[in-house]
Structure 1
Amino acid sequence: MGDIEMKKKLIFGHGFVLTLFIAVCTSFMDLKEINGCGLSDKKSNDESLPLDSIQPDGRDKFNSNTAKGIGRQGRWFTYDGQPTYLVGFDSQELACDPTIDYVAALDQFVKYRINKVRIWTYCWFGTTSFKALTPWVREQTGLFNLDQWNPEFWERTKDFLISARDRKITVEITVFAPYPGWAAWWRDDGVPDTDLFKIAWNKKNNVNGVFSSNARGLFQSEFFNLNHPEVSHSGRRLRDYQQDLVDKVISEFGAFENVYIEVCNEFGTYDLDVDTWHPWQLEWARRINETASNMVAVHAGWDKEGPFRPKHYWDSKFVDIMNFRLRGSPQEVSDALHYSQLKGKILSVNETPGFPENKEDFHNDLDRHTRFAWAIFMAGGHVGFYEDNSSRIGSQGWVNGAQRLKALREIAEKVSFWKLSPVNKKGVEYDRLIKKGPTGAGHQLLANPGSEYVAYFWGSQSANAVRIRLPAGAYSYKWYDVRDASLIKDGKVVRSTPGVVKIASPAITAWNPDSGLALIVKASKGKETAIWKQSHAQIASQ
């Protein structure tokens, strides 16, 4: 063999080996990056660690096993020191509507394992429609007095909180729910009185002589100006009255261990410049945080604002919970929350939207709302269906929605959900571990790599098996219908080396593509693992 020919063979041989080496290393690195477990079933000290313990703001006083009531561990809620997955309803007037039997309503919550409800402090929409009780006295003239509290409202709401606490139901109390950029809310446009919400903050509707409309006939952005100069007859400014309401909520409700407090509903509506006015919301979050033991929620963003708008609250030590208003597919929900998923805050949609554009609630489009609820869970968050008429609690439509939320909670509780995350520490989505499934591209994945996985599938149906990348080991799997948490298929799989595992899908007649399908995969323990290790050792020795 000549020198030139020999050199060609050596170059080719070395190049092939080098190419193979690079390919193998790249494959290994990709596997480690995605599933966080390297090439063995041993967990690394980095990517494999679940994110439940990340809590940069230091509010860990709620993590004690001896803690009472609602608390948190990273992005997940706890109750009495134990992880709990909250599912609930946004029933804003449940406490302030004197015609509703809230005890009977809460008993319905218990019946369907609903463990959370949101109420408003000031249900302005009920002032003329059902004579809602309000925080302030309303005089015989129909005008509010912002300097005088209404004891009937505060006593009834405390009784409501006691009833909820007795049933271990968490209550989110929203302090402010203003829409000062909406003419129909502020209503200083000459519309007949019978059509007015009669907003207490408008000087036309109170005896205090404040507050006045701007040149547009609105009160945006004045409501969010902590230095608004207008002074009432008693010498008080807007900030004084807002602080009074915050402090009153804390003094009356702060001792309830089943309560957390939201500063403002849907902050940022009607083109409010959030980048300019977010200090208003942070100021009241700060005051609640520093004067009460309750956790604090803020409205952090909307889907239309993009994933970076919540940045104002990511690193705030005053904020425990970030609420959102989102709409769209599970993937779109995941995209909207993506940059908030590593911040150690609880993520929540405490009021589901109507589809499309607020026209259909869960009574009319239950499967779509079920899919949305699962989207929030799979993004690492909690969800509450919007019930805009609390008198419907217990009706068949409400029960149908409650059963879907009950199913979500029960499936979540089949795993250590508080150890699961939608992303690894680098923000890479675990969705990439799934290469194929019964719905094509429609899937989301929560993972504690090498231990537990929850996958959710929605959309067009097929008989395709799931192809999911797992570390070496023995695993059990179970398929659930998300409509009622019924088990529809189960089995076991084994991988002798890290790689893709095929999991057979259930029959397409067993589930609804509009509501979706859930898959739980768990690493086997005990005797099953010992048998697998023994057989694996025998194979390796041959």
Structure 2
Amino acid sequence: MKKKLIFGHGFVLTLFIAVCTSVMDLKEIKGCGLKDKKSNDESLPLDSIQPDGRDKFNSNTTKGIGRQGRWFTYDGQPTYLVGFDSQELACDPTIDYVAALDQFVKYRINKVRIWTYCWFGTTSFKALTPWVREPTGLFNLDQWNPEFWERTKDFFISARDRKITVEITVFAPYPGWAAWWRDDGVPDTDLFKIAWNKKNNVNGVFSSNARGLFQSEFFNLNHPEVSHSGRRLRDYQQDLVDKVTSEFGAFENVYIEVCNEFGTYDLDVDTWHPWQLEWARRINETASNMVAVHAGWDKEGPFRPKHYWDSKFVDIMNFRLRGSPQEVSDALHYSQLKGKILSVNETPGFPENKEDFHNDLDRHTRFAWAIFMAGGHVGFYEDNSSRIGSQGWVNGAQRLKALREIAEKVSFWKLSPVNKKGVEYDRLIKKGPTGAGHQLLANPGSEYVAYFWGSQSANAVRIRLPAGAYSYKWYDVRDASLIKGGKVVRSTPGVVKIASPAITAWSPDSGLALIVKASKGKETAIWKQSHAQIASQ
């Protein structure tokens, strides 16, 4: 965006402002320094703030879900995905998934995430599983369950017919959690009966370690245990990966996540990340579907995802994050220029998994906007798929619908939270209706999306823009309704003042969105003509 500031003579500038007063809110023109938290440069020139070139979109012929840089496409066109993590939607035989997907369409929800193996529902709702379960209740890891695979394929067809993208997670192990593995001396009355535990299968594998767990053994590609049929852990894991790609790889609306929440329960990710990369490689080589990995947690810091930044096998990096929009931005900062899609495919509860979107909708709305403003995609965690269509679910769906509709009002695939040097565009905003609570996506000189949250005020937004004519619109993020609009003009690069809407028109708990666009056509021509006449005097 940034061009060098060259001011004309004072009387010329004053005259130009007088000419433009009737069409703008601008009251002051001041230069402002721009300082990134990682830079000591107070006077970064405007022309150094340019988007990452990988965000440029070129229409392609990819059918179904694809990507261009860090944004999704569908049928070759940019698409902003909003969705729900409904893990058991396909494998719960009691759920009418067609009716559920129709609810998705009704609220413009275009993505859903499911699991291959919903171990948590094995006894609670008779979840269908990838493997046969014998009459004794024991699993047989050497025999597939055709009912599961057929129902899941039918689910994918129904989703495809509605242009809904499906993310399917191959592995969802918690081998470092005793309540999951259930080999800790607790009476055998648990609900899970994990198939990988030798106590729960007919195959004679796999055994607990001295702690009564199976971590880090589950992630050891060379784990030595051999089943009754002569097969090792890696063989069974590869079987599941290959079965997923062979059964579902032909679906153009599907992408595949290797593992849910890889790195939980103090797993040493620096040591064991090759496990996740190996299965990403295998999926990449056996199917045309895009591949996702779980790349990091907020508590791990922004550098843990480094293991996946340069992998040619990884398209999408999933995260589990908490905190304010600024904390989310900080967590994703060093991943924003790696050309990968960034996603939170399952929102956390606040605090510490205690509150979901059903009972803390505004907080989840802020979080969803935090992910978008960091250049990513989001899915609300629906812990009970039978609630799809309920009033609580509809309330969440409407917030996601509003996010998608506001995102689609701009060329979001051309926007970035940072420039190619990693400088955050947030620095272009110096003031706003919520004080320090703001984030900014920008395609400098063309389009901007700002998000404000927190304490309210009547303060105008002060945003630094190149010279030109701009329109602006304020939106309520709860329903994408237009609150206020107007126009501003800059004769030279500098700070523009945009009036904020009345504080009664929006909620500080959910937030407020501002879109600024460079004007085109007749308005720009009039501005250029006026500017040329004034400059010639």
TM-score by length of 1: 0.90
Pick closer, same or farther for the CA change 1:22–1:540 going to 2, 3 Å. closer
Greater length-normalized contact order (CA 8 Å, ≥ 6 residues apart): 2
Structure 1 SS opposite 2:6 = helix
Q: Whole-Å Cα distance in 2 between the matches of residues 8 and 498 of structure 1?
A: 7
User: In structure 2, what is the Cα distance between the partners aligned to 1:67 and 1:115?
Assistant: 17
Once structures 1 and 2 are overlaid, which stretch shifts more, 27-36 or 419-428?
27-36
1:384 aligned residue (379, 393, 396)? 379
Question: For each residue in 1:324-367, what CA deviation from the matched residue of structure 2 results, as whole angstroms up to 9, or x when unmatched?
Answer: 00000000000000000000000000000000000000000000
CA contact (8 A) 1:445 1:453 kept: yes
Q: Tell me the TM-score normalized by structure 2.
A: 0.91
The Cα of 1:241 is off from its aligned counterpart by 0.1
Residues 227 and 59 (structure 1 numbering): CA distance in 2 closer, same or farther, change over 3 Å?
farther
31-40 vs 266-275, greater mean Cα deviation: 31-40
> Given the superposition, is the C-alpha separation of residues 132 and 39 from structure 1 closer, same or farther in structure 2, using an over 3 Å criterion?
closer
Unaligned runs of at least 5 residues, structure 1:
1-5
**Which of 490, 510, 519 does residue 524 from structure 1 map onto?**
519
Counterpart of 2:246 (choices 228, 239, 251) is: 251
The 3 A distance-change label for structure 1 pair 157 and 101 is same
CA deviations 1:188-211 (Å, max 9, x no partner) are: 123233324100000000000000
Residues 34-68 of structure 1 show CA distances to partners (whole Å, capped at 9, x for unaligned) of 99999999999999999999999999999753211
- CA distance 1:90–1:48, shift in 2 (3 Å): farther
Change (3 A) 1:7 1:126: closer
CA distance in 2, matches of 1:105, 1:130: 17
The 1:11–1:484 alpha-carbon spacing in structure 2 relative to 1, beyond 3 Å, is: closer
Tell me: CA distance 1:296–1:54, structure 2 relative to 1, closer, same or farther (3 Å): farther
Alignment-derived partner of residue 437 in structure 1: 432
Match of 2:502 in 1: 507
CA contact (8 A) 2:249 2:289 kept: yes
Is residue 3–residue 466 contact of structure 2 (8 Å, CA) maintained in 1? Answer: no
Superposition deviation, residue 26 in structure 1: 30
Asked whether the equivalents of residues 55 and 345 of structure 1 are also in contact (C-alpha less than 8 Å), the reply is: no
SS at match of 1:9: coil
- Return closer, same or farther for 1:522/1:123 CA change in 2, 3 Å cut-off: same
Where do 5+ consecutive residues of structure 2 fail to align? Answer: none
Contact 2:112 2:167 in 1 (8 A): yes
Q: Distance in 2 between matches of 1:254 and 1:227?
A: 27
Conserved? CA contact 2:35–2:427, under 8 Å = no
Instruction: Tell me which of 196, 214, 223 is aligned to 1:201.
Output: 196
Deviation at 1:541, TM superposition (A): 1.4
Deviations 1:57-113 (A, max 9, x none): 999999753211000000100000000000000000000000000000000000000
The one-character-per-residue Cα deviations of 1:222-275 (angstroms, maximum 9, x if unpaired) are 000000000000000000000000000000000000000000000000000000
C-alpha spacing 1:140/1:73, structure 2 compared with 1 (3 Å): same
Q: Distance in 2 between matches of 1:160 and 1:53?
A: 48
- Residues in 1 aligned to 2:134 and 2:450: alpha-carbon distance in whole angstroms: 56
Q: Following the alignment from structure 1 to structure 2, what is the Cα–Cα distance between the partners of residues 14 and 494?
A: 18
User: After superposition, what is the alpha-carbon deviation per residue over 1:158-187, rounded to whole angstroms, capped at 9, x for unaligned?
Assistant: 000000000000000000000000000000
Cα pair distance change 1:480/1:215, threshold 3 Å: same
Q: Is the 8 A contact 1:52 1:75 kept in 2?
A: no
In structure 2, the residue corresponding to 1:30 is in which secondary structure? coil
1:58–1:156 distance in 2 versus 1, CA, 3 Å: farther
Structure 1 157/53 Cα, relative in aligned 2: closer, same or farther at 3 Å?
farther
> Using a 3 Å threshold, how does the CA distance of structure 1 residues 27 and 188 change in structure 2: closer, same or farther?
farther
Q: Is the 8 A contact 1:367 1:515 kept in 2?
A: yes
> C-alpha separation between the residues in 2 aligned to 1:467 and 1:506?
14
1:23–1:212 distance in 2 versus 1, CA, 3 Å: farther
- The structural deviation recorded for 1:502 is 0.2
Q: Structure 1, residues 423-471: CA drift from partner, whole Å, max 9, x if none?
A: 0000000000000000000000000000000000000000000000000
* Aligned partners of 1:213 and 1:219 also within 8 Å: yes
Aligned residue-pair number: 537
Contact 1:461 1:513 in 2 (8 A): yes
Alpha-carbon distance in 2 for matches of 1:416, 1:238: 46
1:163 maps to: 158
CA separation of 1:10 and 1:343: change in aligned 2, threshold 3 A: closer
User: Secondary structure of the residue that 1:33 maps to in structure 2?
Assistant: coil
2:215 aligned with 1:220, yes or no?
Answer: yes
Contact 2:357 2:364 in 1 (8 A): yes
Structure 1 residues 418 and 46: alpha-carbon distance in aligned structure 2, compared to 1, 3 A threshold:
farther
Alignment partner for residue 461 of structure 2, among 463, 466, 469? 466
Distance 1:422 1:538 in 2: 36
Single out whichever of 48-57 and 123-132 deviates more from structure 2.
48-57
- 1:539 is displaced (CA, Å) by 1.0
Partners of 2:6 and 2:44 lie apart in 1 by 43
CA contact (8 A) 2:417 2:441 kept: yes
Aligned pairs (5 A) from 1:70-469: 70-469=65-464
Relative to 1, partners in 2 of residues 1:53 and 1:420: Cα closer, same or farther, differing over 3 Å? farther
2:12/2:535 contact within 8 Å kept = no
Deviation beyond 6 Å, 4+ runs, structure 1: 6-63
Distance 1:406 1:107 in 2: 14
Identity %: 98
